[in-house]
Amino acid sequence: MIKLTRIDDRLVHGQVAFTWTPALGVDCLLIANDKVAKDEFMKMTLSLAKPAGTKLLIKAVKEAAAFLNDEKSKNARVLVLINNVKDAAALAAEVAEIKTINFGGLRSKEGSKLISKAVAVNDDDVVIIRDMLAKGIELEVRQVPTDNKQLIESLI
């Protein structure tokens, strides 16, 4: 069962390990990213950041969708981590269970603008965001579970 789908360009870090994981009661972190799935150094680094007692899976986006759609994974309590808007939309298109996506952190990059204190998006991201909203996916901004939800449509 997916407990949360989160876009955060840092993937696994303190907020994920020490606030989201215990607040959601997750036992599995699933990183969905094609590049990271092929990068042994990144995989090792991210495994060092995961909370004790939590399983870490790192899969390409298509493989992550297959895992989430597999009946065998339904007993796991999963926090899905994605580092960009495009991959989040691709995963949501393949996994019907994804009805809400949390924007936790996207650092500024060239051509992007801040829409909250921790989320910066560019024009391409906004097009994808509007498409996901049109499909009925709730998109909310929150860095930690105790923050108030901000719906992204009020920020873009």
How would you class 53 by CB atoms within 10 Å of its CB: exposed for 0-12, middle for 13-18, buried for 19 or more?
A: exposed
Q: Which of 8, 11, 12, 13 is catalytic?
A: 13
Q: Residue-wise over 33-45: b if at least 16 C-beta within 10 A, else e?
A: beebbeeeebeee
The question of whether 13 is a catalytic residue gets the answer: yes
Residue 67 to residues 1, 12, 56, 121, 155, Cα–Cα distance (Å)? 11, 19, 13, 28, 32
Active site residues: 13
